[in-house]
Amino acid sequence: MAQVPNLLWHCITESDREHCDVTSIMYQATSWDKPRRVVIVRRLDIDPQECLCADWLWEYEAIATTLDWSGEDVWHFYNFRGNAEKHVALQPGVRQWTAGRLRRRLFHLPGILVRHARQWTIRLPVYAKHRSLLMLHAAT
């Protein structure tokens, strides 16, 4: 099993609503005749105040390229070319959201898995139904 190197991330955008880092490595897949540069971009598109630990919320993109541009320029050049989200049905305020962000905002809610009378149920906080309905209404 190959070892993953320690990656040196470079911040390319940081705001209250989004944080984006980029790095690159050389990689050779078994079917490739030579190694290629892979630009890796990670994005955190939530308000940091919304959760205590955002480590598992990063979204990653990997772009194999022969271009020797900066990682940020490669990402901007290829940005959103491979995404298949359909934004037509979304309200203007959420059209730029990725599928992952929509999924997290609509479906990721804290809950407790409880077994009672040989049945499993999920107990959600009181605000969960209201929050989900508001987000669904905002998105469509």
Average pLDDT on 66-83 reads 80
- The secondary structure of residue 119, as a DSSP letter, is E
The three-state secondary structure class of 107 is: helix
Which residue would you say has higher pLDDT here, 54 or 84?
54
At 19-52, the pLDDT tens digits run 888 999 999 989 989 999 999 998 887 655 566 6
Does residue 65 have a pLDDT over 70?
Answer: yes
pLDDT of residue 22: 93
Q: Are strands 112-116 and 19-27 parallel, antiparallel or unpaired?
A: unpaired
Alpha-carbon span 7 to 34, nearest angstrom:
21
Contact status, residue 63 vs residue 74, Cβ threshold 8 Å: yes
In sequence order, what DSSP letters do the residues of 18-50 get, joined into one string?
-EEEEEEEEE--TT-SS-EEEEEEEEE-S-GGG
Average pLDDT rounded to a whole number, residues 120-135:
75
CB atoms within 10 A of CB 59: 15
Confidence (pLDDT) at 92: 72
The pLDDT assigned to 7 comes to: 86
Distances (CA, A) of 129 to 7, 81, 91, 123, 124: 40, 35, 21, 11, 8
Give pLDDT tens digits for 8-21.
Answer: 988 888 676 778 88
Residues 85-122 pLDDT 10s: 465 666 777 777 776 776 666 666 677 788 888 888 87
